[in-house]
Amino acid sequence: MTEATQDILVHTEAGVTTITFNRVDKKNSITTAMYAAMADALAAAEADASVRAVVFQGDVAVFSAGNDIGDFLQQPPATQDSPVFRFLRGLAAFPKPVIAAVCGPAVGIGTTLLFHCDLVYAGDNAAFSMPFVNLGLCPEAASSLLVPQMLGYHRAAEALLLGEPFMAEAALEVGLVNRVVPPTECNGVAQAQARKLAAKPLSALIETKRLMKKSQAPQVLAVMAEEGASFGRMLREPAAREAFGAFMEKRKPDFSQC
């Protein structure tokens, strides 16, 4: 089965649902409509007993540049029922295995969604970054909890406070990715692993994932909600206004008064 929206492709075959970022001309930056499509795709995959794994993938040159700034400013995630938070909660609570194939830039949510995946494969051109502070904002997707847990505090502070990119080999070293491969092989590797999972008993996959995540799950959702409240407040503050204004005007932001 294949379903298409303008910028998100959803294809289900042989027990695997593949969600593809399909907005390469905009570096796969994510709009509100794309978040809604992904949230719906996850809900459908959870409800479909024939689906045993989900794969997120992008293009060989770019995974995702994060939020589409213009769309984001027009439709900020004002409530916990917004498509952004619906997608994040759906991903965090998704009971079946989730795999990601990441090539090129993975910015903001392009990186933080990976902390909710079970397997991550990266092209050797992958570059991960979480530049929330640079936009006058705070982390999202429970990354303020999950990034220190995986990377250790000091590496997490470097990634979240400076917001500078780190490459595929560094991501492999800290355990964010399982394997680094040539970009042209990345999606294929993720699909092959998904097919292996799809051949296994669904009940065993779900219970194993539940047991691995059970001590973390309530805290993840609580931190996600706290981050969301802070994120929404900070969107209205001077630092974010300056950061987004500078981005739209193609100039360097001036935070001296923020």
pLDDT tens across 68-95, in order?
998 888 888 767 789 999 999 999 999 9
Give the pLDDT mean for 117-121.
Answer: 98
CB 107 within 8 A of CB 65: yes
Q: Band of the pLDDT at 142, cuts 50, 70, 90?
A: very high
pLDDT at 212: 97
pLDDT, tens only, 209-254:
999 999 999 999 999 999 999 999 999 999 999 999 999 899 999 9
In a domain, 130, yes or no: yes
Let me know if residue 190 belongs to a domain.
Answer: no
The letter for the amino acid at 124 is: D
The yes-or-no verdict on residue 2 having pLDDT over 60 is no
CATH, residue 61:
3.90.226.10
3-state secondary structure of 167: strand
CA torsion, ordered 56, 62, 64, 68, to nearest 10 deg:
-140
Assess if residue 223 is contained within a domain: no
Give me 145's structure tokens: 């909890």
Residue 68's CB: how many other CB atoms inside 10 A? 22
Residue 233: name the closest of 78, 84, 31, 108 by CA. Answer: 78
Q: Map residue 21 onto helix, strand or coil.
A: strand
Domain enclosing residue 68, as ranges: 2-182+201-210
Which residue from 188, 156, 192 is spatially nearest to 171, judged by alpha carbons? 156
Confirm whether 39 is domain-assigned: yes
**What confidence tens digit (pLDDT) does each residue in 160-197 have?**
999 999 999 999 999 999 999 999 999 999 999 999 99
Q: Where are the beta strands (DSSP E) in 86-156?
A: 98-102, 105-107, 119-123, 127-129
- Tell me whether residue 194 is in a domain: no
In a domain, 233, yes or no: no
Residue 222 lies in a domain: no
Residues listed for the chain: 258
Residue 11 maps to a domain: yes
Mean pLDDT to the nearest integer, 1-27: 88
Number of structural domains in the chain: 1
Amino acid 73: pLDDT: 85
The answer to whether 179 and 172 have CB atoms below 8 angstroms apart is yes
Q: In this structure, are strands 119-123 and 179-181 parallel, antiparallel, or unpaired?
A: parallel
